[in-house]
Amino acid sequence: MYFLLSTLSTSETFYTFVILPKMFINLLSVARTISFTCCAIQMFFFLGFAITNCLLLGVMGYDHYAAICQPLHYPILMSWQVCGKLGATCGIGGFLASLTVVYLVFSLPFCSANKVNHYFCDISPVIRLACTNTDVHEFVIFICGVLVLVVPFLFICVSYICILRTILKSPSAEGRQKAFSTCA
């Protein structure tokens, strides 16, 4: 439980620090643009950590399910090795999805402007600079975004429905209170 929480905390910290340096430079300077290369690098790491966070939250839903609904099996279900593999899978999956999105965005043909006039490199300001129809690219990016957000969200919902069902089955009020406090 604490390993996944510390992994999420670390990923969330890096997620924030990916944007901050360039944003502070832009706030203090007259030229508030970012080059395509820096933009691609920033977008890759920003999306990588963001997607990793979403996937980690889904895994943490399962972790809570295992702790409440399978307490005797919890040490086996969520051993350090399993947590490490789940954390690594979330990181690898997050950065592979990020690589896919960054490739889709930066494989577009761009007009003469090679500077993004934005305080950080987001997908929509970059796509607006493309010289071609971007509908297919935008649709694929949209589908990736929906999958990254909806799948972990559904996983969390199913986990917590199972947790709630298990807690409500508990015969004693003290047992329910202890289980609810474990979730919080």
Domain CATH number, residue 127: 1.20.1070.10
Residues 79-127 have pLDDT tens digits of 999 999 999 999 999 999 999 999 999 888 887 666 776 667 888 888 8
State how beta strands 34-35 and 115-116 pair: antiparallel
Q: What would the mean pLDDT of 20-49 be, rounded to a whole number? A: 84
Of 51 and 129, which is predicted with more confidence?
Answer: 51
- Cα gap 19→49, rounded to integer Å: 11
Q: Give the number of domains in the chain.
A: 1
Residue 115, classed as helix, strand or coil, is strand
pLDDT at position 51 over 90: yes
Note down the domain range covering 99.
2-183
Yes or no: say if 59 and 86 are a contact pair by the CB < 8 Å rule.
yes
Residues 127-151 have pLDDT tens digits of 888 888 888 989 999 999 999 999 9
